[in-house]
Amino acid sequence: MMLAPFKTPIYVTRPVFPDLADYTDQLRNIWESKQLTNNGSQHKKLETELAAYLGASHLKLFNNGTLALLLGLKALGLKGEVITTPFTFPATVQCLDWNQLTPVFCDIDPITLNIDADKIESLITEQTTAILAVHVFGNPCEVEKIQRIADKHNLRVIYDGAHVFGTEINGKPINSFGDMTMYSFHATKLFNTVEGGALAFKDAQMEQQLELLKNFGLLNAEQVVLSGLNAKMNELQAAMGIEVLKVVEVERRKRHELKKTYETHLAGIPGIRIITNLEGPASSYQYFVIEIDDSLYGRTRDELFNELAKFNIFPRKYFYPLCSDFSWYSHLESARPENLPFSRKLVHQVLSMPFYGELGTDAAEKICEIIRELHVEQKELLNFRK
Ligand SMILES: *Cc1c(COP(=O)(O)O)cnc(C)c1O
Q: How many CB atoms lie within 10 A of CB 300?
A: 15
What whole-number distance in Å separates Cα of residue 216 and Cα of residue 12? 37
Q: What residue type is 96 in one-letter code?
A: L
In testing the pocket of ligand 1, which one of 61, 184, 289 has its CB within 8 Å of the most ligand atoms? Answer: 184
Q: Average pLDDT over the chain, rounded to whole?
A: 97
pLDDT value of position 365: 98
Per-residue pLDDT of 282-314, as tens digits, reads 999 999 999 999 999 999 999 999 999 999 999
Of ligand 1's atoms, which has the minimum distance to the CA of residue 91?
10
What whole-number distance in Å separates Cα of residue 282 and Cα of residue 168? 5
Give the closest residue (by CA) to ligand 1 atom 7.
65
Is 318 touching ligand 1 by the criterion CB < 6 Å?
A: no
Compute the residue count for the chain.
386
Q: Which residues does residue 316 pair with via DSSP β-bridges, in sequence order? A: 352
Give the closest residue (by CA) to ligand 1 atom 10.
91
Distance 258 CA to ligand 1 centre (A): 24
Going from the C-alpha of 332 to that of each of 113, 133, 155, 325, 348, the distances in angstroms are 22, 19, 21, 10, 22
Note if the bond before 137 is cis, omega within 30 degrees: no
Distance 259 CA to ligand 1 centre (A): 23
What whole-number distance in Å separates Cα of residue 162 and Cα of residue 89? 10
In testing the pocket of ligand 1, which one of 134, 160, 188, 350 has its CB within 8 Å of the most ligand atoms? Answer: 160
pLDDT tens per residue, the chain (386 residues)?
A: 578 999 999 999 999 999 999 999 999 999 999 999 999 999 999 999 999 999 999 999 999 999 999 999 999 999 999 999 999 999 999 999 999 999 999 999 999 999 999 999 999 999 999 999 999 999 999 999 999 999 999 999 999 999 999 999 999 999 999 999 999 999 999 999 999 999 999 999 999 999 999 999 999 999 999 999 999 999 999 999 999 999 999 999 999 999 999 999 999 999 999 999 999 999 999 999 999 999 999 999 999 999 999 999 999 999 999 999 999 999 999 999 999 999 999 999 999 999 999 999 999 999 999 999 999 987 666 666 55
Q: Give all domains of the chain, ordered by start, each with its CATH number.
A: 20-245 (3.40.640.10), 248-385 (3.90.1150.10)
Note if the bond before 321 is cis, omega within 30 degrees: yes
